[in-house]
Amino acid sequence: MSTSNTFTALQVMQDAPVIPVIVLNDVKHAVPMARALVAGGVRMLEVTLRTPQALACIEAIAREVPEAVVGAGTVRSRADAQAAANAGSRFAVSPGYTSAVGQACRDVGLALLPGVATGGEIMMAQEDGFTELKFFPAMQAGGPAMLKAWSGPFFDVKFCPTGGVSLQNAPEFLSLPNVVCVGGSWLVPADAMAQGDWARITQLALDTKALRK
């Protein structure tokens, strides 16, 4: 499945204060969940490749919710990147970074938000031309204090902290000049998904607007 609309990693990050990190176990939930998030003003949707249904969910969202921009998370290999692109993903997010994954995403036309947790990983990603990065796992790897420390040597890098980020601590991250957005799973609670409480998911998405600096 191809698309004429391409996005850079920075455009993906700038669209809303939060990129929802979504784990889907049932294809039936994919489309109503995506519509609920879009109704709340969140359209960049990271569906993680952590379940057997993930690719089918990405395909359903890409086909039936054109106002959403669906991406694949947990991209760890060339095969993941190819499968994500084939399913209709328009961006990719990886938990770490390798040059092979970076090149694979370029080859299939996916904007990549690579995961980093150390200065060395940032330098590796920068060597390959990536300057918009996912800081993961954010809280476990040093939280806002680490991002403040990186703002000196890596003044030209922008981050999306993910991992342990919540509605409560998101403002602290978003107040940092080198943070464009955060990634979080709180927009799509498992119980709301199981109950089909799409109105709650829309409200959680609407609540993120108050987080923008």
Catalytic residue numbers, as ranges: 46, 134
What backbone torsions phi and psi does residue 71 show, to the nearest 5 degrees? -130, 170
Element holding 87 (H helix, E strand)? helix 78-87
Token pair listed for 157: 């890098």
How many of the other CB atoms lie within 10 Å of CB of 98?
A: 17
Element holding 71 (H helix, E strand)? strand 69-73
What does the alpha-carbon distance between residue 187 and residue 21 come to, in Å, rounded to a whole number? 8
